[in-house]
Structure formats: C-alpha cells, structure tokens
Amino acid sequence: MKEEEILQRLHTRLGIGQLNEMQNAMNCRSREGGDMVLLSPTGTGKTVAYLLPVLQAIKADNGTVQCVIVAPSRELVQQIDGVVRALASAELKITCCYGGHNVTDEKNSLAATPTIIVGTPGRLLDHINRRHVDVSTVRLLVLDEFDKSLELGFHDEMNRIIKHMTHISRRFLTSATTLKEIPDFLRLNRPKELNFLGGKKQVDDRIKVWQVKSPDKDKLQALLSLLKCISDERTMIFVNYRESVERVYDFLKTHNLPAGMYHGGLEQLDREKAVALFNNGTNKILVTTDLAARGLDITDVGNIIHYHLPASAEVYTHRNGRTARMEATGEAYVITGPGEELPAFIETDGMMQLPAAGEAVGGHAFIADTASLYFNAGKKEKISRGDIAGFLLKNSDLAADELGSIDLRDHYAIAAIPAAKARQVLKQVERLKIKNKRLKITLVE
C-alpha cells in the first residue's frame, strides 16, 4: 500500500488528521529498513505507528501469510484487528485469533490463507500446531506490548511460534516500559530504537492526583462519598483482587450507580459487554483489576480511582494511563485507609476532604442516560452496523442523532440508545425481523 492511501484512510475512517510526534518518527525512521523497537506510554497510538511501515511493506495478496501481529490479550488483539481493517486495502484478507470464542470460526477463516494474522500467543500457536495455517512465509512480525507478553508468561509460546517463521525480514517490537532484556529467540539484528518514554512527565502533568483518606479500613463508604464529589465523567476504579471487584460492584449497584465490572475470571462475552457498555455510556463506572490498565480500547476516561494501592510504580503508571490520553487531561484519586501510607512513587497535588456524614455535596450524580440493546446476531450472521442502524431508525421513534455507537461482534451486537426511550424502543422492535431474520433483542440490564 502507498503511504498516501494509508494516511487518507487514517483521516476518513479513524478521524486522525495528522500523526503525532512518535508516529511521525516511526514512519520516517522505518524507511531505513531493519528491525525496530518502539518504546512509548500506553495510549499514545503505537498501533498506528507500526502499521504505517507494515502496511507499506505488504505486497498484493499472494496466497501466503505475509504478516503476523502478536499481542498479549484478547481485547488488544480485537482492538488491533479493528485498526488494521480500517487502514488496510479491501483485497487483503485479515484474520483475528484469540481464546474465549469459537475456534471453528477461526479455523474456517484460516482455510482461505490470510495476508495478515492478528492473534494472542496461545491461540496462534494452537492453530500452527494443528496445521490450520502455515506461517513459514511470514516476512513481517510485530510483537505488540511485548513487555506485557513476557510479564504474562508467554515467553515459551512466542519462542515456539517464531521457530515456525523461517523467512522473517523485519521485526517490530513495542513496549510501554523499558525492556530490561530482549530474548535471544527474537534474533533481532541491530534494531533501531525509538524511545518516547521520556515524555512520561508530560503525561503526569496532565493528571491531577489527590489523596483521599478513608476513616475506616473498609473503604466502601469513602468511595461512595468520593463518587458524589467528583465529575460524572467515565470513571475507572482499580482494585487488586477479583473478589474485590465483585464486592465493590455489588455495593455500587445497591446504591443505584451505573457500574460495570471487569476481571480475568469473567467469561469473554461478559468482558466484552463490560467494555462496550462502559464505552457507550450505559455504565459510567467500571470496577476492575489491573487487567484493564492496558490493552483495552477505552476512551475519554475522566477519573481514575485507586481503591487499593497499586503494587508498583509501573502498575500505577498504567492505571493512570487510562486517562489523559492523546493530550487530554484527567484526575486520579488514591484512597488510603487508617495506617496506610502512600508509596514513594505516588506524588499528589494535595488532599481531598470528603464531606462529613449528612453534609450536602456539590458534585454530580452518576445518572445513566444511555441504555443498550442487545442483538443475538453479528458479523458471522451477515449483520452489519448499517443493518442495525437502519432497522432501529425505520421501526422506532428514535431520531438519527439519538442512536449511539453500535458495537458489532462475530455473533452479537450492542446498540446505544437514550435510556428514557429504551423500553419504548424495545417494545416497537422486539418482534420484527432484520434482513428477514428474527433476532432476539433485549435490553442489557
């Protein structure tokens, strides 16, 4: 593909008018050829940065796998897949492989050899071992969030995957932290390194950090008081354990707050729905473990709450990195209980005093003004976003500007609509057909 074509698609399909400093540097330096290591904080646009040289190096579809992109999590793989499809030429076949959904769909998709594969290490290796795909022809290898892959224990899987790739000509590694060492199995050849981690201070300058003292060891009441004081922008609450996610979530729901939860113990469908409902505004609060600190396609987060203290400076940085993305600003709140001291790596802008019991507060209420309709069919059933949008606008009282985002997956879709009209719209459409198919349409509770 030509650079001009990619930049045009970047503008028209992703709404990015110009490259940032890091993306420009990657695009220019990559013209020299050779292996590259890109170090840049979470949320700075690394996917676009490496796709610029990768897509320019892709040849017309020749019936072989030319590029493999490996990422550590299902959610990051799905995010990358969406960006690749937005920027790549229509004739290039792209396949996405990750655990937690139907492996048969992936096997069928691999039957017609893709040009580009995006996958998690475990699922990709499984397809290779089952001879569903031949990766010996791969010339371009991208290891995205490579530090996270090592942290999650994917060293052996990546080693075994790369042993099957005998014709790699270029390797691209990305990381949100400094790499202490690069394993020998990567066989990097004098890689060019672009290090933008020095810009971390600029990110910190866009985040205001406040300490919040809880009078009780149990921080739930302090959390509730805090939520009554801060802005009602999208808010992520980080805890250290899965059980704590569910406990905090249950507490917030008993107080009628629009909250969702996300952790590694949930089924993949529930994790996907949690992200979709948070992104489209149905849930303005997401309670999560550090699993959501990286790799998720979550936008416009205004507040970060550290319910539990982060385990390390790196974890703290990644949590805060969910806000103040792409030059935006954000607020972070660190709740400490009796006897808890702030770690040395946390510097605050001051102390936030919570209102006393019964004292009136002047903050914003977290009110769910958006609801979501769930359709039990998606891309694999030949349903498109346009099909769903047209169906809703034709058969309900929704105006065009009232229809929010439509999250389309392989076997389901979620459409955002005004909460005030939700039950009325559902009643109008639940018994109708889409493209002569009767789907189950429900409100996501």
Write the pLDDT tens digit of every residue in 391-415: 999 999 999 999 999 999 989 999 9
Q: What is the pLDDT of residue 42?
A: 77
The residues with which 262 forms a beta bridge, in sequence order, are: 288
CA-wise closest residue to 308 among 239, 388, 207: 239
Contact status, residue 303 vs residue 236, Cβ threshold 8 Å: yes
Tens digits of per-residue pLDDT, 11-61? 999 888 899 999 999 999 999 999 999 998 877 889 999 999 999 999 887
| End-to-end CA separation in angstroms for the chain | 44
Instruction: Give the amino acid at 294.
Output: R
Q: Domain 206-352 falls in which CATH fold?
A: Rossmann fold (3.40.50)
Q: How far is CA 444 from CA 17, 20, 273, 296, in A?
A: 35, 37, 9, 21
Q: What is the pLDDT of residue 397?
A: 93
> Which residue's entry shows tokens 């990305």?
174
Annotated domain spans of the chain: 3-199, 206-352, 370-443
Contact status, residue 355 vs residue 225, Cβ threshold 8 Å: yes
The CB density around residue 201, as the number of other CB atoms within 10 Å, is 7
Class for domain 3-199, per CATH?
alpha beta
Cα separation, 23 vs 371, in Å, equals 36
The dotted CATH code for 370-443 is 3.30.70.330
Contact status, residue 373 vs residue 426, Cβ threshold 8 Å: yes
The CB density around residue 303, as the number of other CB atoms within 10 Å, is 22
Segments of the chain with pLDDT less than 70: 199-206, 324-328, 357-364
Q: Do domains 3-199 and 370-443 have the same CATH topology?
A: no
HEC assignment per residue over the chain? CCHHHHHHHHHHHHCCCCCCHHHHHHHHHHHHCCCEEEECCCCCCHHHHHHHHHHHHCCCCCCCCCEEEECCCHHHHHHHHHHHHHHCCCCCCEEEECCCCCHHHHHHHHHCCCCEEEECHHHHHHHHHCCCCCCCCCCEEEECCHHHHHHCCCHHHHHHHHHCCCCCCEEEEEECCCCCCCCHHHCCCCCEEEECHHHHHHHHHCEEEEEEECCCCCCHHHHHHHHHHCCCCEEEEECCCHHHHHHHHHHHHHCCCCEEEECCCCCHHHHHHHHHHHHCCCCCEEEECHHHHCCCCCCCEEEEEECCCCCCHHHHHHHHCCECCCCCCEEEEEEECCCCCCCCCCCCCEEECCCCCCCCCCCCCCCCCEEEEEECCCHHHCCCHHHHHHHHHHHCCCCHHHCCCEEECCCCEEEEEEHHHHHHHHHHHCCCEECCEECCEEECC
Q: What is the pLDDT of residue 225?
A: 93
Q: What is the pLDDT of residue 326?
A: 47
